[in-house]
């Protein structure tokens, strides 16, 4: 059982198909997918949006180049698009879990205008040192630990070899390695070009 103590995100399927998952939920594994999938795990801040530090409002959110197109292309290639993001701003008291959920719904709305969608969002609100209350724990979900990725593999019945994780930090690569999936370091430029390159190795 993963040490994810979110109260707001206990498996809610929101409108517009966004899923926010409490990765400690014991009841969720049978409710998402009935057949195996391949997953494109994507970090959020620094990969899908410019990392302005602790982004939680739509007016702070700036899409990275061709990030929306990348998500649509992945869906068209039969990938499940899953965001795995550390959100210690919750634990630090800068914003709430509800804010993370609201921004995810806003992102989904933006994507639907071009026929794209996110299949699931996992976020870790914890920090082992700089957090308050129940959020101050050494959890299993905060990257570089692989908890969010492992849960995604379980929920979507995916094989590690059929998945990859595009992230912009060393901790993302360490999480991918620990989960046994391909880690791809995003260093800027077109996100669409980045996912196309890595997806070729999973066909």
Whether 30 shows a pLDDT value over 90: the answer reads: no
Lowest mean pLDDT among 13-22, 91-100, 160-169: 13-22
Among the listed residues 22, 45, 119, 172, the single catalytic one is: 45
What contacts 85, CB < 8 A, 6 or more positions away?
Answer: 43, 44, 45, 121, 122, 123, 124
Lowest mean pLDDT among 46-55, 70-79, 194-203: 194-203
| pTM of the predicted protein model | 0.84
pLDDT average, residue stretch 103-112:
96
SS (H, E, C) 75-96: HHCCEEEEEEEECHHHHCCCCC
Quick: pLDDT tens for 119-137.
999 999 999 999 989 999 9
Q: Helix 191-199 crosses helix 67-76 at what angle (to 10 degrees)?
A: 30
Return the higher-pLDDT residue of 187 and 24: 187
Domain segments of the chain as ranges = 12-25+36-202
What contacts 34, CB < 8 A, 6 or more positions away?
Answer: none
CATH number of 12-25+36-202: 3.30.450.20, 3.40.50.300, 3.40.50.1000, 3.30.1180.20? Answer: 3.40.50.1000
Verify whether residue 43 is a known catalytic residue. yes
Q: What is the mean pLDDT of the chain?
A: 85
Among the listed residues 22, 43, 119, 172, the single catalytic one is: 43
Q: Name the pLDDT band for 189 (thresholds 50, 70, 90).
A: very high
Is the alpha carbon torsion for 44, 76, 12, 107 positive or negative?
positive
Pull the structure tokens for residue 107: 């992102």
Tell me, what's the pLDDT at 200? 84
């Amino acid at each position: 059982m993963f040490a994810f103590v979110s109260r707001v995100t206990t498996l809610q399927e929101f409108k517009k198909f966004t899923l926010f998952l409490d990765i400690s939920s014991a009841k969720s594994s049978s409710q998402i997918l009935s057949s195996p999938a391949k997953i494109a795990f994507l970090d959020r801040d620094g990969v899908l949006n410019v990392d302005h530090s602790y982004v939680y409002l739509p007016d702070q959110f700036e899409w990275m180049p061709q990030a929306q197109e990348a998500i649509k292309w992945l869906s068209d290639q039969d990938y499940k698009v899953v965001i795995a993001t550390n959100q210690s701003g919750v634990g630090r008291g800068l914003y709430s879990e509800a804010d993370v959920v609201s921004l995810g719904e806003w992102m989904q709305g933006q994507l639907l205008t071009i026929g794209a969608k996110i299949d699931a969002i996992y976020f870790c609100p914890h920090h082992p040192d700089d957090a308050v209350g129940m959020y101050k724990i050494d959890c299993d979900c905060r990257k570089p630990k692989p908890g969010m990725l492992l849960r995604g593999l379980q929920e979507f019945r995916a094989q590690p070899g059929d998945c990859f994780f595009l992230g912009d930090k060393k901790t993302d690569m360490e999480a991918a390695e620990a989960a046994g999936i391909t880690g791809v370091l995003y260093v800027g430029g077109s996100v669409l070009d980045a996912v196309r390159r890595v997806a070729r190795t999973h066909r």
